[in-house]
């Protein structure tokens, strides 16, 4: 059954009396304009070029641990602090307390209200990275690229200890579960940072997280419509390869808004044995028996496809991720401000604005800025907070004299990259380094203060030994909790986008766009 988005209102039911509506636990808070001081003094004290993605050799790491040459958990058990405030554990899900107590009801209108923001469109391609090699995790809002997890304890997360053969078997089974959808499953090479992706830690046990009680795996739950595209979820090292694969598919399914089912053949069920799957049929939800009465967080989403108390896993995944056809069309980027060749005075401020798009959602972008040929800023826009006309945006301040190349890169999950760049001359600088004389107004855009987003870097290509979509892939997932470290600040002015559905016309000349 394929989703019928235009008909979803037919299935809606009234919210619980007194429940909050128009909200979503994984809708990123508005942070305002991302403003970056590019002066020499600021660049000397802030990390504007982020660290490369952490990569470990899959085969060698697992072989060393299996042979006992190195420990799976080199720093031992880290202190456990319990779940962050506002979260509660319900079986293999950790859900916001407001969802659990019924004070927050997620309505479909809330989910679809943000689909005009670039990268949030449905259907979207996505990547599920199965991390068997562990690594250092930090507690914080989920950001798979930066090893941040709401459920993590501080320290090194253990490596999978049962060897490459079993790991590959788990990965292949998970890829089979997602084979009908636009989700690429990778495990050997870690995806690049620029693309939103889900990271599934496979190894360790529940005491390597901040869970309150034992579980075979865990995930942030109640992300109806999968708004958070950079979740970190866990499958603990227990049972057979098939059992761990079922757990891995269930935990990622929770991250995509699915709840527990009473269909024992489904990976979303507790009662199943053998090799489960996602079912394209309406099955009874397991609420009071599995996670407690009233704790299903995405009821209204499920009712777009089924009767109350039921869920169609296949239909929901198809709505979010579409089918397994490859994405052959690269994304596009077009800078609208500043103008290519603009001449600006020393200390100028620039509002950088670009229209970005692709034929599928799930893409991400980063800003790469050079001064006199040297990269001085290379950061992923994790939050993807666009301006009031849905353009990628960042405000640059205090530009020292020099020649600046300002570029944006947009990446999709099949290796497609769209780029655009402009060159501006500040303080009389010229291509040859001469002194000339010009001033200019420095802004290139009169739209006032808008929203933007960002942090951190993108590096290599994503891995893909197992592809659940039928095509080669890179990485993907929804923004959430992206860290800005200490490199930028934001203004709350004009932080809310204007009416949804704004259609942008391409303005200005097209430059060095690929």
Q: Return the H-helix or E-strand segment holding 355.
A: strand 348-357
CA 371, distance to chain mean position in Å, is: 30
- pLDDT tens-digit readout, 12-58: 333 333 344 468 988 877 777 789 999 999 999 999 998 999 899 99
Lowest-pLDDT choice from 62-71, 204-213, 383-392, 496-505: 496-505
Residue with tokens 């090292």, as numbered in its chain: 237
**Separation in Å, CA 319 to CA 168, 240, 378:** 28, 31, 33
* Rounded Cα–Cα distance for residues 37 and 397 (Å): 5
pLDDT given at position 291:
66
pLDDT given at position 434:
40
* Rounded Cα–Cα distance for residues 380 and 491 (Å): 19
* Rounded Cα–Cα distance for residues 375 and 38 (Å): 12
Token couple for 114: 């943000």
User: Is a pLDDT exceeding 90 seen at residue 79?
Assistant: no
Antiparallel, parallel or unpaired: β 33-37 and 392-399? parallel
Closest CA to 186 of 477, 455, 381, 456: 477
The pLDDT-based confidence of 432 (bands split at 50, 70, 90) is: low
Do the Cβ atoms of 239 and 216 come closer than 8 Å?
yes
Do the Cβ atoms of 107 and 224 come closer than 8 Å?
no
Architecture of domain 332-491: Sandwich (2.60)
The average pLDDT across 442-470 equals 37
- pLDDT tens-digit readout, 124-180: 999 999 999 999 999 999 999 999 999 998 889 999 999 999 999 999 999 999 999
Token couple for 137: 């995790």
pLDDT given at position 22:
62
Which residues are paired to 351 by β-bridges?
A: 395
The pLDDT-based confidence of 489 (bands split at 50, 70, 90) is: low
pLDDT given at position 372:
97
* Rounded Cα–Cα distance for residues 159 and 66 (Å): 10
Within 10 Å of residue 30's Cβ, how many Cβ atoms?
Answer: 14
The average pLDDT across 180-197 equals 97
> Phi and psi for 111 in degrees, rounded to 5?
-65, -50
User: Is a pLDDT exceeding 60 seen at residue 482?
Assistant: no
Closest CA to 473 of 127, 205, 20: 127
The pLDDT-based confidence of 309 (bands split at 50, 70, 90) is: very high
Q: What DSSP assignment string belongs to 254-308?
A: HHTT---BS-TTBTTBSS--SS-B--SS-EEB--TTTT-TT--TTHHHHTTTS-T
The average pLDDT across 489-503 equals 38
pLDDT given at position 358:
98
Strand order in the sheet with 364-371: 343-344, 417-426, 402-411, 364-371, 374-380
User: Is a pLDDT exceeding 60 seen at residue 195?
Assistant: yes
The average pLDDT across 417-437 equals 79
Question: E-strand spans in 72-123?
Answer: 87-90, 93-96
pLDDT given at position 454:
38
3-state class (DSSP) for residue 235: strand
pTM of the model: 0.82
Lowest-pLDDT choice from 139-148, 187-196, 271-280, 471-480: 471-480
> Phi and psi for 366 in degrees, rounded to 5?
-140, 160
The pLDDT-based confidence of 438 (bands split at 50, 70, 90) is: very low
Which residues are paired to 35 by β-bridges?
A: 395, 489
User: Is a pLDDT exceeding 90 seen at residue 355?
Assistant: yes
Do the Cβ atoms of 391 and 504 come closer than 8 Å?
yes
Do the Cβ atoms of 168 and 130 come closer than 8 Å?
no
Lowest-pLDDT choice from 16-20, 191-195, 274-278: 16-20
pLDDT given at position 13:
31
- pLDDT tens-digit readout, 90-99: 888 898 888 8
- pLDDT tens-digit readout, 361-414: 999 999 999 999 999 999 999 988 899 999 999 999 999 999 999 999 999 999
pLDDT given at position 431:
74
Token couple for 253: 């399914």
User: Domain segments of the chain: what residues?
Assistant: 55-321, 332-491
pLDDT given at position 31:
79
The average pLDDT across 348-371 equals 98
Do the Cβ atoms of 196 and 107 come closer than 8 Å?
no
The pLDDT-based confidence of 181 (bands split at 50, 70, 90) is: very high
User: Is a pLDDT exceeding 70 seen at residue 471?
Assistant: no
Within 10 Å of residue 269's Cβ, how many Cβ atoms?
Answer: 20
Do the Cβ atoms of 475 and 445 come closer than 8 Å?
no
Name which residue leads in pLDDT, 286 or 292.
286
């Amino acid at each position: 059954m394929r989703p019928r988005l235009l008909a979803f209102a037919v299935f809606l039911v009234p919210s619980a009396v007194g429940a909050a509506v128009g909200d979503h636990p994984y809708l990123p808070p508005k942070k305002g304009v991302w403003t970056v001081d590019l002066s020499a003094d600021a660049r000397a004290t802030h990390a504007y070029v982020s660290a490369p993605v952490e990569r470990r050799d899959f085969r060698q790491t697992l072989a060393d641990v299996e042979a006992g040459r190195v420990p799976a958990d080199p720093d031992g058990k880290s202190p456990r602090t319990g779940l962050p405030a506002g979260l509660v554990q319900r079986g293999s899900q950790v859900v916001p307390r407001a969802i659990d107590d019924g004070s927050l009801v997620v309505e479909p209108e809330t989910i679809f209200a943000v689909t005009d923001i670039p990268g949030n469109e449905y259907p979207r391609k996505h990547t599920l990275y199965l991390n068997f090699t562990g690594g250092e995790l930090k507690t914080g809002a989920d950001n798979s690229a930066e090893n941040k997890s709401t459920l993590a304890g501080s320290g090194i997360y253990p490596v999978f200890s049962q060897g490459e053969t079993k790991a590959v078997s788990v990965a292949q089974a998970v890829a089979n579960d997602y084979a009908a959808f636009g989700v690429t499953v990778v495990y050997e090479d870690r995806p690049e940072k620029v693309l939103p992706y889900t990271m599934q830690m496979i190894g360790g046990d529940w005491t390597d997280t901040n869970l309150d009680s034992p579980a075979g795996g865990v995930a942030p739950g109640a992300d109806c419509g999968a708004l958070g595209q950079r979740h970190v979820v866990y499958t603990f090292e227990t049972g057979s390869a098939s059992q761990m694969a079922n757990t891995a598919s269930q935990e990622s399914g929770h991250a995509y808004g699915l709840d527990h089912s009473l269909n024992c053949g489904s990976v979303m069920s507790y009662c199943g044995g053998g090799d489960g799957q996602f079912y394209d049929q309406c099955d009874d939800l397991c609420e009071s028996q599995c996670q407690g009465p009233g704790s299903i967080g995405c009821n209204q989403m499920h009712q777009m496809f089924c009767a109350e108390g039921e869920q169609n896993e296949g239909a929901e995944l198809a709505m979010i991720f579409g089918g397994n056809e490859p994405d052959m069309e690269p994304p596009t980027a077009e800078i609208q401000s500043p103008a290519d060749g603009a001449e600006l005075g020393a200390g100028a401020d620039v509002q950088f604005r670009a229209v970005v798009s692709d034929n599928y959602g799930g893409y991400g972008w980063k800003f790469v800025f050079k001064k006199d040929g040297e990269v001085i800023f290379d950061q992923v826009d994790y939050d993807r907070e666009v301006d009031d006309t849905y353009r990628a945006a960042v405000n640059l301040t205090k530009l020292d004299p020099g020649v600046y190349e300002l570029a944006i890169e947009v990446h999709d999950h099949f290796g497609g990259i769209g780029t655009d760049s402009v060159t501006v001359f500040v303080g009389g600088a010229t291509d040859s380094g001469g002194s000339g004389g010009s001033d200019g107004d420095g802004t290139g855009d009169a739209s006032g203060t808008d929203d933007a987003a960002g942090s951190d870097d993108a590096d290599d290509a994503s891995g893909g030994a197992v592809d659940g979509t039928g095509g080669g892939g890179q990485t993907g997932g929804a923004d959430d909790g992206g860290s800005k470290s200490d490199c930028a600040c934001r203004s709350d002015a004009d932080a809310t986008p204007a009416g949804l559905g704004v259609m942008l016309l391409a303005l200005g000349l097209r430059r060095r766009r690929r």
